[in-house]
Amino acid sequence: MRVRGAGSIASSAVKALQIVARDSAAQDTEEFVTQLSDAARILLRTRPTAVSLPNGIRYVMHRVNQARVKATSAAEIKLVAIKAADDFVELTRTAVEHIGKIGARRIRDGDVVLTHCNSKAALSVMTTAWKEGKKFEVYATETRPRFQGRLTAHALARAGIPVTLILDDAVRYFMQDVDTVLIGADAITANGALVNKVGTSMVALAAHEVHVKVFVAAESYKFSPETMIGELVEIEERDPSEIISGKELGQLGRVHVRNPSFDLTPPEFIDLIITERGIIPPLGAMLILQEVFGILTPEELREYQTYRIDEI
């Protein structure tokens, strides 16, 4: 949990893969690819819900496997792996900048924006709009149990944007004052459903009730190719100690605690998804997936399923 946010998680995983490649002493191509594949499977185990992580791993490994066909030495493939990792990290950086520029058009002078959790893409939209001279204010939820919303509030205040920190439970109370909900994404499915920090679905439901538009800021590498063929995004559950200490739990007696980190927001509660490739409705998610990953053939599908958590 020292690394938070789907984009940062993906970049960190890819950088870790790059370190393995750079430090490898493998003498032949097969040994090198095996080392990298082993590292990839370990990294995939760390964060099952953040689709950006496996997509980042796939980005590097796809290029490594392509180079493996023609390479005559491990050194050749090593250079490919190192460059692919650098390219992906740069892609994550520029994607957030592009989303900021595109999404800023959707914020108007005088708007009240509500955001949940801590999203670099959503922050980019708000800070870009502010730099363009638009005046608005933001409600930021605390986002329990790890209070990522406080990071968002701090970042907004540092940028000079008026921000009010509110309890997660108070979202419905304040929603009547809100013009736009702007949130990030950990994963987006082929049908446009959103997987994001737990509580997002309740925010979207409250917005839907009073006809407030919900915008999602998400890089294209957060779209899940597995969902094109009916796979489900696994929802990560974390330790109950994030919610209550072991001592306090013991005092409650036979009480079971569950701590899901994410939830699923249906596409009908989302108005627009802002990506670095443009703005799409939720039902346009399949188009982004096909643009980024192509229409999966049986051979390509086998490649995407090479690096799966359940095969470790």
Q: How far apart are CA 126 and CA 130, in angstroms?
A: 6
The reported pLDDT for the residue numbered 293 is: 66
| Most confident residue range from 28-32, 46-50, 159-163, 293-297 | 159-163
C-alpha to C-alpha distances, 88 to 18, 40, 94, 151, nearest whole angstrom: 11, 15, 10, 25
Backbone phi, then psi, for 44, in 5-degree steps? -65, -25
Torsion-angle region of 194 (φ positive above 0: left; ψ -120 to 50: alpha; else: beta): beta
What number of H helices and E strands is found in the chain?
11, 10
Q: Which one of the listed residues 111, 168, 186, 271 is annotated catalytic? A: 186
Name residues whose C-beta falls within 8 Å of residue 17's C-beta, 6 or more positions apart in sequence: 36, 39, 40, 43, 57, 60, 81, 85
Residue with tokens 């998680």: 9
Q: Which one of the listed residues 111, 117, 168, 271 is annotated catalytic? A: 117
186 is catalytic: yes
Structural domain boundaries of the chain?
6-98+295-311, 101-293
Average pLDDT over residues 143-151: 96
- What is the model's pTM? 0.82
Asked if pLDDT for residue 292 goes beyond 90, the answer is no
101-293: which CATH number, 3.30.565.10, 3.40.50.10470, 3.10.20.30, 3.40.50.1820? Answer: 3.40.50.10470
C-alpha to C-alpha distances, 48 to 206, 232, 237, nearest whole angstrom: 28, 11, 10
Name residues whose C-beta falls within 8 Å of residue 287's C-beta, 6 or more positions apart in sequence: 280
Identify the CATH class of 6-98+295-311. Answer: mainly alpha
Q: How confident is the model at residue 189 (pLDDT cuts 50, 70, 90)?
A: very high
> Quick check: do 6-98+295-311 and 101-293 share a fold?
no
117 is catalytic: yes
pLDDT in tens, 74-123: 999 999 999 999 999 998 889 999 999 999 999 999 999 999 999 999 99
Quick one: 142 exposed, middle or buried, by C-beta within 10 A (0-12, 13-18, 19+)? buried
Average pLDDT over residues 230-252: 91
Name the CA dihedral angle for 148, 151, 153, 156, rounded to a multiple of 10 degrees. -140
Cα-only R_g, the chain: 21
